[in-house]
Amino acid sequence: MKIVIGVGIASHPISAAGNTWNSLNWALGFRELGWDVWITEAIASDKCVDLQWQRVPVEQSANLAYWDEVVAKFGLANRATLLIDGGAPDLDSFRDFCAEADLFLNLSGHFQSEAVSFPKALKIYQDGDPAFSQVWVESYGVDMHFAAHDRFLTAGLRLGQPDTFSPTCGIEWIPTFPPVALKYWPPAWQDQNQSPRENFDRFTSVAHWEGYKSSEWRGEWFHGKREEFRKFTDVPRSVSRPIELATHVATHEAELGPFREGGWQFTEATPICSTLDAYAAYIRGSSAEFSIAKGGYVLSRAGWFSDRAVCYAASGKPLVAQDTGLGELLPAGEGFHAFATPREAIAACERVIADFPAQQRAARALAEEYFDSGKVLTRILNRL
């Protein structure tokens, strides 16, 4: 079986390792299932930049260098096509593959190019931003290119349910957890004498401070992360271990004073996200994840789940995550803890700290049962 996957790698060439891992977990997951996988991306030459974000010719760009580095690292060089202004050196062979492909999976709908077509393939749109994507269409008339696809996946595990607050754009959305290719995300203790840590160090997460600009639907505002962080300003002060956030500290330093007073610790995200290995090392070096969701995810109650969280869980890192309406879709209390209020957040953190070895094993077990790419992708294929 042949699949073409539209990814987001070259378009985010600087300090975006988390974004790259999201694309790779889909591609590597299908490859582990035995599929013949070809990844592709389309970018414009006038968007190519160097490492200082200055426009440069394609040949000198960070975009091309990063693409080449990633595909070589994972043995995808003969199954990867970067279309630049619609062209590529291997365009003829890529077109032949597309003509025979069984599936075309478009991650976040980013791949848009008239250079290739998929006459046989079932064309699948994968939505990583449930509620936001649909609100952009309904309230602002944004063309998310839904019409070019046949079936639709979403990381909103409850999108479309009667008690969720989000449009659906008249589409039947297939809910799915983000996949993680477990072969590439082993438990952190695999190289630590085969047993989980005894001592808890710190909670961490990697996140943009703001996220998306606010959007309105039916009189309610779907905010980004800034507004949600403010609800939990003082939580770390009441937790017995540090909570650290890797974000763009220098850019947002003027806002961080009250959070530092509340006990938050910050580290610059740029070096952490600069390479795939650095990103993985940061996660594996953490004790657990403490994460705040975008306000739109919280408001919608559509059950959004993070593609970063599945990497933490696979590494054996317990998850303490702001509630987005998952309900009973994940067993709470063992490896995964949802919170809606500061009091709940503090209690969840302390439970993880108090029972740390067992919580690590439970997190890995969650990944093996719910997030393993083999199981996630098989469940999706059975729904198509």
In the prediction, which pLDDT does 62 show? 98
Q: pLDDT band for 193, please (50, 70, 90 cuts).
A: low
Residue-wise pLDDT tens digits, 214-261: 999 999 999 999 999 999 999 999 999 999 999 999 999 999 999 999
Q: pLDDT band for 189, please (50, 70, 90 cuts).
A: confident
Give how far Cα 268 sits from Cα of 149, 225, 245, 250, Å.
38, 17, 8, 7
Q: What is the three-class DSSP state of 35?
A: coil
CA gyration radius, the chain: 20
**pLDDT for residue 191 is more than 70:** no
**pLDDT for residue 190 is more than 90:** no
**pLDDT for residue 192 is more than 70:** no
In the prediction, which pLDDT does 155 show? 98
Burial of 362 (0-12, 13-18, 19+ CB in 10 A): buried
DSSP symbol at 310? H
Q: Which domains does the chain have, with CATH numbers?
A: 2-181+372-383 (3.40.50), 182-371 (3.40.50.2000)
Residue-wise pLDDT tens digits, 175-186: 999 999 999 999
From 61-75, 192-206, 283-297, 341-355, the region with the lowest mean pLDDT: 192-206
Q: pLDDT band for 104, please (50, 70, 90 cuts).
A: very high
**pLDDT for residue 195 is more than 90:** no
Q: How much is the mean pLDDT over the chain?
A: 96
In the prediction, which pLDDT does 305 show? 97
Residues 375 and 354: their CA atoms lie apart, in Å, by 31
Contact (Cβ atoms closer than 8 angstroms) between residue 12 and residue 126: no
In the prediction, which pLDDT does 327 show? 85
Contact (Cβ atoms closer than 8 angstroms) between residue 335 and residue 358: no
Contact (Cβ atoms closer than 8 angstroms) between residue 132 and residue 212: yes
In the prediction, which pLDDT does 215 show? 97
Q: pLDDT band for 119, please (50, 70, 90 cuts).
A: very high
Residues 382 and 371: their CA atoms lie apart, in Å, by 16
Residue-wise pLDDT tens digits, 7-64: 999 999 999 999 999 999 999 999 999 999 999 999 999 999 999 999 999 999 999 9
Residue-wise pLDDT tens digits, 279-301: 999 999 999 999 999 999 999 99
Q: pLDDT band for 198, please (50, 70, 90 cuts).
A: confident
DSSP symbol at 367? I
User: Has this prediction a pTM greater than 0.75?
Assistant: yes
Q: Both tokens of residue 251?
A: 């850019």
Residues 327 and 362: their CA atoms lie apart, in Å, by 18
Residues 325 and 161: their CA atoms lie apart, in Å, by 11
In the prediction, which pLDDT does 146 show? 97
Its sign, for the CA torsion 310, 312, 317, 322, is: negative
For 327-332, what is the mean pLDDT? Answer: 89
187, HSE (Cβ side, Cα atoms, 13 Å): 21
Residues 330 and 128: their CA atoms lie apart, in Å, by 18
In the prediction, which pLDDT does 244 show? 98
For 118-126, what is the mean pLDDT? Answer: 98
Contact (Cβ atoms closer than 8 angstroms) between residue 311 and residue 17: no
In the prediction, which pLDDT does 57 show? 97
